[in-house]
Structure 1
């Protein structure tokens, strides 16, 4: 089985303290640990998530409860991270956005940033956040953060570019306190963190974009989808859709992370075979995902049959055994919890204290550590 890995030339950074909000099972924590950071406070509402977190990182490592009621407990810190609740914005949820009570949790994040003024923050959410209701929700979030005297950069990234066999697109927002930039005498070009890939090969490409006044727009006046990369300061932003991101990491495919044998509880060959005559053959790749057949007519309760030559579709907390099958040899089966962990970049036994059923939701909601690790590393470089 091929393991996904990201090799970093990192120094020990125990002097950098981290706070992890909406921690879940610790995707950001695992990334921070691998980079030598010292996590001093973490929080999640879910008892089961906290149980997994404590098992992996220690009994006193996370505070369980409603984050809004624990704001006074958050200590001063260098780096703030969090995958704030994505269900209000996700295509797998009801898409209520800021109107959803969970969506307002973002304001509590802004309150922590304003109170403690961390040098950096790293936040993660779903791709849909850029487009929902013509960008209204993202504009609200972007404006709230940028007005706190931070340079805010965002970028749409895909897990498949980080050694993971999954098509999972997520928006990462990173912020650097403006006085931190001034102290290190960095200009905006030097401060850009997430644009350093093959589509911005030279600083002049970024400089030309930043130094052109007409590229800057007012956040509050923006009533359209946001591009996949951008910067914001104060009440203005610039953005564009750069070429596809490439990390130059070895591609990993689904067949490389599958367990060689699985139990009968994961095998649905008999029941799937009965439905195959009602499926329409597809035999094509969509964003790296090999689709063999779909329910004829698109019935939601039908089966989608995936191959294993490509990557897996996005794992979610709502993935059901009724909707997905994978053709492995001459058998049809679902993915196992161990395979879910591998596709998300976690150790096989990361959720060992949870039931097999619960692991799907826990892992499907998580931030992939390899993605978080790369982003945090970019943020801290040059400090």
Structure 2
């Protein structure tokens, strides 16, 4: 089977591309990266430096005509988590849609307008997508599933914590794959036992095995009218009905709580450290230590709002310094810079306490060393990239399992 042609949206510094290209089964034919409200397009500069400027777009995707995007077999991207509510346009009651600037609708537009729709989608988001917004838990994900079904796709998803499969960072993200109705994989999913698909036969369960479960699945149908679905889904403000694994075909949802099954090698925070070569600027000055200890520590105190209103504030303590015999905590976008912070990683070394280097942050996301090193890009920006990135190993394993599954089902048809 030939390599699958990929379109990478919201490309960042190329995590999806790295993971897919490592399998040797995919070729990126077009990519887009645009950071709103910033003049310097740092992530796009890194992307071009690593992969070349050919077929790379650094324009606002909302303003890129679908005709400019070449046909492709698979569309991938980690799109921003936003409010995905739906409305109708006043001029045309059938016209969808979502608010301007909400980038899910750019994916939706491309899929709607493409005459040759991509056969496969591979998307990623924060795991809270399954339970947002707080007033209608699960509504946003319901809108996505229904709109993908309407466009001819069946969907499977799983929340994956990379560390539970031996990777160096505790990073939970929801990954979802979609298969177009014209593909053998769509038929295979539609005709399968949903529980078997989620526990052993599906693409994600092949890539990331789970234990057999005695827990009862949840099944329900999604309303067909998107505006009505947006207005009424889970309006009684209960828990989200979406569990950490599931499929959705023709508006019917089947969702199940699964537990990871893994007993292989585990990479720890200590395994990614630059031993002895970390820059001196990363070390914490003793005069700053009390501030770090305060921010990382437990608190029960009275605070005041700007308006003078007093309230009781409390939070638990963080492990300080970070445990070296565990995978790391999740990297966030504010990881860079010298200022003391509750959320930045701090490690104990022979030379003293220090923050993590850009290379160590890259390793925690399984990027090549110095992937984000480029003249004119400060270390704080490199840390920001990694706070926004995904764990490359997760993409590689799902990408590999997907290609294998496509080959299998096509062979079965031919025989």
Q: 1:113 aligns with which of 111, 116, 120?
A: 111
Write the distance in 2 (CA, Å) between the matches of 1:103 and 1:200. Answer: 40
| Separation (CA, whole Å) in 2 of partners of 1:345 and 1:317 | 17
Task: Give the stretch that moved more between structures: 166-175 or 360-369.
Answer: 360-369
**Residue pair 2:13, 2:44 contacting (<8 A) in 1 also:** yes
**Where does residue 102 of structure 2 map in the other structure?**
104
Match of 1:317 among 314, 321, 333: 333
Which of 30, 46, 51 is the aligned partner of 1:52? 46
Deviation per CA, 1:234-265: give whole Å up to 9, x if none: 2221111112x234441111011111122221
SS at match of 2:203: coil
TM-score (norm 1): 0.80
Q: How does 1:223-234 map to 2 (within 5 A)?
A: 223=234, 224-225=239-240, 226-234=242-250
Scaled by the length of structure 2, the TM-score of the pair is 0.74
Is the alpha carbon distance of 1:217 and 1:357 closer, same or farther for their aligned partners in structure 2, counting shifts above 3 Å? Answer: same
Please state if 1:63 is matched with 2:79: no
1:149 aligns with 2:169: no
SS in 2 for 1:167: coil
Give the alignment partner of residue 264 of structure 1, picking from 258, 280, 298.
Answer: 280
1:125 offset after TM fit, Å?
Answer: 0.2
CA distance in 2, matches of 1:103, 1:155: 26
Q: Does 2:348 align with 1:343?
A: no
- Determine which of 2, 16, 19 is the counterpart of 2:4: 16
- Return the alpha-carbon distance in structure 1 between the equivalents of residues 174 and 44 of structure 2: 24
Give secondary structure in 2 for the equivalent of 1:271: helix
Residue 78 of structure 1 is matched in structure 2 by 73
Aligned residues: 341
Bigger radius of gyration, 1 or 2?
2
User: Following TM superposition, by how much is the alpha carbon of 1:329 offset from its aligned partner in structure 2, in angstroms?
Assistant: 3.6
Conservation of the 8 A alpha-carbon contact between 1:215 and 1:238: yes
The within-5 A match list for 1:199-348 is: 199=210, 215-218=219-222, 220=229, 222-223=233-234, 224-225=239-240, 226-243=242-259, 245-261=260-276, 262-275=278-291, 278=294, 294-297=297-300, 305=320, 306-319=322-335, 321-323=339-341, 324-329=344-349, 331-348=352-369
CA distance in 2, matches of 1:179, 1:361: 39
Deviations 1:160-183 (A, max 9, x none): 134422110000010011221279
1:218 to partner: Cα distance = 2.8
Q: What is the CA distance between 1:272 and its match in structure 2?
A: 4.6
Q: Is 1:43 the counterpart of 2:32 in the alignment?
A: yes
Residue segments in structure 2 that go unaligned for 5+ positions in a row: 36-40, 87-97, 224-228, 301-312, 407-415
Q: Structure 2 CA distance, aligned partners of 1:171 and 1:121?
A: 14
**Are 1:308 and 1:326, in contact at CA under 8 Å, matched by a contact in 2?**
no
1:140 maps to 2:109: no
Change (3 A) 1:183 1:356: closer
Q: Distance in 2 between matches of 1:185 and 1:276?
A: 54
Cα distance change on mapping 1:150 and 1:276 into 2, 3 Å:
closer
Could you tell me how far 1:311 is from its partner in structure 2?
Answer: 1.9
Q: Unpaired segments of 5 or more residues in structure 1?
A: 1-12, 89-95, 280-292
Q: Report how far residue 104 of structure 1 moved.
A: 2.0
From the superposition, tell whether residues 140 and 103 of structure 1 become closer, same or farther in structure 2 (CA, over 3 Å): farther
8 Å CA contact 1:267–1:334 kept in 2: the answer is: yes
CA distance in 1 between partners of 2:293 and 2:247 (Å) = 50
SS at match of 2:80: coil
* Cα RMSD after superposing both structures: 3.0
> How many angstroms apart in 2 are the aligned matches of 1:102 and 1:346?
33
Q: How far did residue 216 of structure 1 move?
A: 3.9
Aligned to 2:167: 164
User: 1:367: Cα distance to partner?
Assistant: 2.1
Match of 1:33 in 2: 21
Segment drifting more, 74-83 vs 330-339: 330-339
**Contact conserved, 1:229 with 1:241, CA < 8 A, in 2?**
yes
| Residue deviations 1:4-54 (CA, integer Å, cap 9, x gap) | xxxxxxxxx653111101111001111121122111000010321111111
